[in-house]
Amino acid sequence: MNYKAIIGLGNPGPEYFYTRHNIGFRIVDELVALDGGLWKKRDEMEYTEVRLHDASVIVIKPQTFMNNSGRVCSFLQKKGIKAQQLLVVHDELEKPFGNISLKEGGSSKGHNGLKSIISVYGPDFWRLRFGIGRPEDKDEVPAYVLARFKESKEQVDAEIRKAVELIQQ
């Protein structure tokens, strides 16, 4: 894929870093670290650029909390970046842990970060869906996504590396 921008979804603050909902931040952090990039702060985001497929790609971590992730999209739109040139990296309840996939377009499936981006860009952007599994009781979803992974740090880190490799293909 030839992305011009990548948005990793998560919530700002150290208390959220290891939660399931922040896997998007962790994946783009690893991508940027491998490229030797440094994050810069601007308005409601952290951003930088990495090299992918011999092109410069903007990478963003919204600092707005999940529900308002789409507020960073105006920055990308001003740079002429279209929905089809955007990759959003996020946690996916509908997939078991360790299941990672790329998908173009679709609904938010209740994911508030995706809803926010769809409200600005429409649904036709690329997504890297990182499976986190789902609790049996849907009322437990808010607490579940804000909890830490039950899998070991080594398992999570290995899956993060797989996700980065998928982005780099």
- Cβ atoms of residues 6 and 59 within 8 Å: yes
**Mean of the pLDDT values across residues 1-8?**
92
**Can 53 be counted among the known catalytic residues?**
no
Tens digit of each residue's pLDDT (9 = 90 or more) over 130-140? 999 999 999 99
In a domain, residue 153? The reply is: no
Q: Residue 34: which H helix or E strand, with range?
A: helix 23-35
Look up the CATH number of the domain holding residue 11: 3.40.50.1470
In a domain, residue 148? The reply is: no
- The count of structural domains within the chain is 1
pLDDT score at 42? 93
Report the predicted TM-score, pTM, of the whole model to 2 decimal places.
Answer: 0.97
Tens digit of each residue's pLDDT (9 = 90 or more) over 99-129? 999 999 999 999 999 999 999 999 999 999 9
In a domain, residue 66? The reply is: yes
In a domain, residue 169? The reply is: no
In a domain, residue 94? The reply is: yes
- Cβ atoms of residues 9 and 24 within 8 Å: yes
Tens digit of each residue's pLDDT (9 = 90 or more) over 23-61? 999 999 999 999 999 999 999 999 999 999 899 999 999
Tens digit of each residue's pLDDT (9 = 90 or more) over 131-168? 999 999 999 999 999 999 999 999 999 999 999 999 99
pLDDT score at 113? 97
In a domain, residue 61? The reply is: yes
Catalytic residue chosen out of the listed positions 21, 53, 90, 111: 21
Question: What percentage of the chain's residues is helix, strand, coil (to nearest 5)?
Answer: 40, 25, 35
In a domain, residue 69? The reply is: yes
In a domain, residue 102? The reply is: yes
pLDDT score at 1? 72
pLDDT of 88 strictly over 80: yes
